Amino acid sequence: MNSLKNTTEFLHIGNKILKWYDKNARDLPFRNTKDPYKIWICEIVFQQTRIAQGLGHYNRFVERFPDVKTLSEADENEVILYWKGLGYYSRAINIHKAAKQIMNDFGGKFPSDYDDILKLKGVGKYTAAAVSSICFGGKKPAVDGNFHRVLSRIFADDFDITQSTAFTYFSELAFLIMPENVGDFNQAMMDLGSEICKPKNPNCTECPVNEDCIAFSLDKTSQFPVKTKKVKVENLSLKYYFVHRNGQFLIQQRGDDFIWKKLFEFLPEVPSELSPFIKNVKTLNHKLTHRNLTIEIFDTEIDSEAVWKALIKEKKYIISDFEDSQNRSFPKPLENYIQNTLKD
C-alpha cells in the first residue's frame, strides 16, 4: 500500500461510487438533515443495529429527545428506557453523558472539529469522522466494516482487519479513492457495503466499480476481508430470584460495570430463610456478542404477609409490578420472563 500513496490513479473509483450514490442513495430520514445531533444519534444507533430494525427506535428517540439540551436534562433511566430494544445499553448511557459534555464544555453547541467530537463520551474515530464530514465538511473517511470490505476487495488487500492498526491502514487506502465530497462519499460507502458489497453473496454484477475490483476479477471476493483473530466466547452462568407476592415483585438496578449496565434486574441473592418459598426454577439460555449466558430464575413466591413486609422493610429493594416494569429497562431474558409470568 505504501507505494500507492500520493497518487491520483485511483480517484476515478471514488467518483464512480459517488455517481452510483447519487442515483441509489437510500431514502432515510437522517439523510434529510445536516443537524449534527441527529447524525450523531443515528450513527450510534446503527453501530450495532441494522437500519431496518433500528429506524423506528431512532425516530422515537429523536422525537422524545430532539436536541442536545433536552437529552442532557433527561433522567438517565428515561434515556435508557427509550433505548429499549436496541441493546448495548452502554451506548445510551454514553450519549447521555456526552450530551452533558456538550452543554458544559461546548456551550450547548455540537462541536464541529473532528478532534473535539472525538472527546465526547462513547464517540470513536468512525463516528467522529462521519459527523464531521457529513455536517461540517470534514475530510476524514468514516472507516467501518463496510470500508474494510469494499476496500479490501477493490485492492485484493489481505491486511487483517482485526489488527489494532486496521483503522489507520484502511483510512490510507480510502484516501486513494476519496473524492472532494467526503460526507457523501462516507455515506456512499455505507450504502455500497450494505446493499451491494455484502459480507456474503455480494451483488458484484450490480457494483459500480466491479471493473476496478481486483478480487472480483480474480473471483476471490469471498476471501476478503481477511479476519484471522477469532473472538473468544465466554460461557457465563447467572442466578436470579423472582421474589413476588400478589402481583408485586422485587427488583434492583445494576451498576455501571460488567454487562447490562444500569438496567433493572431480579434479586441475584436472597436470605436463606426464603428457601422454603422457592416453588421452581427455570433455566434460560441467552447469547450476547461474546458471551453465552445460562440464567437460572428461581420462582420465589412469598405467601406470608409478615415475611413479605419484613423483607421489604429490611432490604432496600424496589417494589415493582407488571405496569411499573413496562416503564423500566430490563435485560431481554428478564423482560421476557416478566411478560410470560405476569401478563394476563
> Active-site positions?
43
DSSP assignment of 105-123: HSTTSPP-SHHHHHTSTT-
In this structure, what C-alpha cell is assigned to residue 226? 481477511
Provide the residue count of the chain. Answer: 344
Helix, strand or coil, per DSSP, at residue 281: strand
Residue 236: C-alpha distances to residues 227, 239, 250, 291, 294 (Å)? 26, 10, 23, 7, 6
Q: What is the pLDDT of residue 5?
A: 46
Helix (H) or strand (E) holding 220: none
CB 80 within 8 A of CB 329: yes
Distance CA 276, CA 302 (A): 9
**Dist. CA 142–CA 158, nearest whole Å:** 20
**For position 342, what pLDDT does the model report?**
85
Nearest to 136 by CA among 210, 261, 260, 39: 39
Q: How many helices (H) and strands (E) does the chain have?
A: 15, 6
Indicate yes or no: pTM above 0.95: no
Candidates 36, 130, 47; CA nearest to 90 is: 47
Burial of 242-258, coded b for 16+ CB within 10 Å and e otherwise, reads bbbbeebbbbeebeeee
Contacts of 178 (CB under 8 A, 6+ apart): 11, 14, 141, 185
- For residues 323 and 247, the answer to whether their CB atoms sit within 8 Å is no
What is the structure's pLDDT at 2?
42
How does strand 264-265 pair with strand 234-245?
Answer: unpaired
- The CA distance from 199 to 305, in Å, is 58
pLDDT (0 to 100) of residue 173: 96
The answer to whether residues 213 and 207 touch, using CB atoms and an 8 Å cutoff, is: yes
Closest CA to 240 of 263, 209, 221: 263
What confidence score (pLDDT) does residue 7 get? 55
Task: Using 50 as the pLDDT threshold, list the residues of the chain that sit under it.
Answer: 1-6
Q: Judge contact between 259 and 290, C-beta under 8 A.
A: no
